[in-house]
Amino acid sequence: MHVAIAASAEAETSFFSNIDFSSGAIAAVSGGSDSTALLILLKEHLERFAPTARLVAVTVDHALRPASAGEALAVKALCGRLGIVHRTMVWTGEKPDTGIPAAAREARYRLLAEAARAEGIGMVLTGHTADDQAETIMMRRQRSAADDGRGLAGMAPATLYEGSVWIVRPLLGASREALRDVLRRRNFSWIDDPTNADATYERPRVRAAIGDGGEDFAAVLDLAAGAALRRIELGEKATRLIGSLASQPVRGLVRLGPEFASAEKHAAVYALRILLASVGGVPFLPDEARTAALFDRLAGQKLRATLSRVTVDARRSGIFLHREARGLPEPQSVAQDMVWDGRRLITFNDAIDGLVIAAAGPTCGARLAEEAGNAVPKSLARAALSAEPALWRGAECLGFAGDSGIVSGYAARPVVAPWVRFLPSFDLRAARATSDLLGAPEVPQSPLSDARNDRPWSKT
């Protein structure tokens, strides 16, 4: 059973009705049926409802097949007939011998984001369909990549890429066959990529299994919808705990009120996983079972433990989290837009030749802890500040990045490690609460303008 879309123009353009196009849109168009239907339906929608919005079609040529350059030219020709600006972005350089689909996906998002930034547009629309969603869920389930259930939510309606470009998937409620019907009715053709049927790769194998009736399509999508709603609701509960019980008395040190240990366990464990990953600078949430075991030990006792590169120090005055001293980066030259230790984004305006960035270390950390006052026990302040990035000239610690009087225009801004690369709209509330706590840059507003902002696909 496939999700269908009605034949009326109103229904066919309703996929875009909750998207803010005021800053324009990039349409990712490969020439396949899904992305071609996206382009056609999007153009019709904008002509009717947002005629002044900029639309730029971008084709990523992965340069993996001899025919790919010609396919990009075919998309360019189609866009020329439709009066749509078109750009081709080519994946250059050596390609990996293994893991081609994952590497191609990484390259595709990077190049689409580059095109969006070059055009001054903060949103890329892709043609992912209900079929793609079902395949994604099946692959994650088979790989056991979603043991805590979060991954079974599938692809989010919108995902923030590297903090600045939204990847929006408006067609998650439409089947591939229904979109092909859209093209047939309008006499548009499409390109069939042979790799989509190459059983060497996992997704085509899963696609074939669905086609052979091995899985109930609608049941898989219902599973994703339910998992997405549970993920959102759990995130809302974790957000409330972070907002009400977490503080940062000293940079790099998070304090949870003692009452956190008696909070509702499921939400508290999720909040703790988010905070551990963020304080530790790791891109993935720590294992749910290990975090739950740690949470159970917090109630009514002093505790010192480590998990996810974080030291957890539970006292009567609160539960304190800071980056552990082991495994900190070696001293290194400062580079623009480097993410240091997964926790700090380094930016600067002026030349800083002769300086390196490294952890403050115990001596500098102790000095800086004295300057921080008595907000928390000195031992905790020293431990947290010792693991913060500082500027060094030879053996001299100049102080923290961003402190006045060190280097003009130099800053080390916090980042929320689990969502540095990809922030699914399912997790927006939790990410915003964590960003506020750590002093990270504000999460940009989603282009999805109504209550479906972070909701799973819905049948149309």
pLDDT of 377 > 80? The answer is yes
Instruction: Look at residue 402 in the predicted model and tell me its pLDDT.
Output: 63
For the record, the structure tokens of 195 come out as 């790799």
Average pLDDT of the chain to the nearest whole number: 88
Rounded Cα distance, 358 and 346, in Å? 12
Over range 257-277, report the average pLDDT: 97
Kindly give the interhelix angle for 217-245 and 130-143, rounded to the nearest 10 degrees: 70
Helix ranges, 198-303 (H) = 202-211, 217-245, 265-280, 288-298
How much is the pTM? 0.90
For the chain, residues classed under CATH 3.40.50.620 are 9-215
Rounded Cα distance, 139 and 142, in Å? 5
Rounded Cα distance, 152 and 426, in Å? 12
Residues of the chain with pLDDT > 70: what percent?
A: 85
pLDDT of 332 > 80? The answer is yes
The tokens 């999508």 sit on which residue?
221
The residues, any chain, with a CB within 8 Å of residue 446's CB and separated by 6 or more, are 158, 160, 166, 425, 428, 453, 454
Instruction: Look at residue 411 in the predicted model and tell me its pLDDT.
Output: 80
Chain centroid offset of residue 46 CA:
27
Residues of the chain with pLDDT > 90: what percent?
A: 66
DSSP 390-421: EEEETTEEEEETT-TTSSTT-EEEE--GGGSS
Instruction: Look at residue 212 in the predicted model and tell me its pLDDT.
Output: 47
pLDDT of 7 > 60? The answer is no
For the record, the structure tokens of 210 come out as 């669905």
Among the listed ranges 187-191, 322-326, 389-393, which one has the minimum average pLDDT value? 389-393
Considering only the top CATH level, what class is 9-215? Answer: alpha beta
> pLDDT, tens digit, for every residue of 137-171?
888 777 665 457 788 899 999 999 999 999 999 99
pLDDT confidence tier of residue 194, bands split at 50, 70 and 90: low
Instruction: Look at residue 157 in the predicted model and tell me its pLDDT.
Output: 96
Nearest to residue 270, comparing CAs of 225, 294, 237? Answer: 237
Rounded Cα distance, 337 and 328, in Å? 18
Angle among Cα 447, 39, 92 to the nearest 5 degrees reads 90
Residue type, 267: A
Helix ranges, 301-394 (H) = 361-372, 378-386
Instruction: Look at residue 355 in the predicted model and tell me its pLDDT.
Output: 82
Please, which contacts does 309-312 make with residues 24 or more away whose CB atoms are closer than 8 Å?
A: 309/280, 309/281, 309/282, 310/276, 310/279, 310/280, 311/383, 312/276
> pLDDT, tens digit, for every residue of 378-436?
899 999 999 999 888 888 888 886 665 566 667 889 999 999 999 999 999 999 999 99
Angle among Cα 301, 305, 306 to the nearest 5 degrees reads 155
Over range 171-197, report the average pLDDT: 88
pLDDT confidence tier of residue 451, bands split at 50, 70 and 90: very low
